[in-house]
Homo-oligomer: A and B are copies of this chain.
Amino acid sequence: MQDNDPLPSTATAVGVSRYGRIAAQLQRKIVDGEWPPGAAIPAESTLATEFGTALGTIRQAIAVLVQEGLLERVQGKGTFVRNGLTGASMMRFFRFRADAGAPVVAIPRSEILSCRAVRLEKSIAALFGLDTGARGLAISRRRWLDDKPRLLESIWLPLPRCEPLQRLPKAEWGDLLYPLLASQCGITIHRAVDEVTFRTLDADQAELLELPDGHPCALVTRRAYDLQGNCAEYRLTQGDAYAFRYQADIR
């Protein structure tokens, strides 16, 4: 019987139970990239003999990570490491295009207005777990759908980690940030917390969105977290309030 280190690692609610410790060890393998996104993890029976426990215990450990959204079980095929968020989910807050009932899943085109290294505001630095005055990347984007400007985004990223993006030519950015964070910086965004409030647009913002000055807008504030649970992005997104729609399920 091997009975390894407790390994409280990150966010996994690890009590002292066997399956909790195993779950933490499996999570470590995912976080360290030993089991990359999309890959299948060893079969339950294999893990059971490896860890020297009963099958049911391994199943319980896997259930924890499935619940956390890190793993996905597929009957008859295996258990797979989930890919991170793509970032396309931002559109779920807005209902652009004709309300033909069809949920909009199209990815809006991204136009990078600016991208430069800055000294991070105190609160953002703290969010990233950095010291006050630490450097970060500040990105400003405008996003288009159906040849109309729809969203304005201000994005902050921690700078030692996201340095590769600084040297990347704008032409190679593409329309989605998270795949870029994965390929260039090795950061997998796995969870995000969004907060929605309402504001009005100032003159500059209104002009960029081709809306009247003072027009009401929805402001979505996003904190995105990597596999280790560290915040790796702070983002403000603004769009026409009248195009805003959000659905919440309350149990």
Contacts and interface: CB of A to CB of B under 8 A. Distances in A.
Contacts of A246: 195-196, 246, 248
Most chain B beta-carbon contacts within 10 A, residue among A68, A89, A245? A245
Interface stretch (A168-176, A185-193, A229-237): A185-193
A244 B194 CA distance: 14
A249 B198 contact: no
Contacts of A251: 68-69, 190-191
A218 interface: yes
Interface residues of A, number: 26
A104 interface: no
Given A198-B216, A216-B198, A192 B250 contact: yes
B195 A247 contact: yes
A243 to B, nearest CB: 9
Interface string A193-226: 1111111000000000000000010100000000
A225 to B, nearest CB: 10
Given A198-B242, A241-B198, A241-B241, A249 B218 contact: no
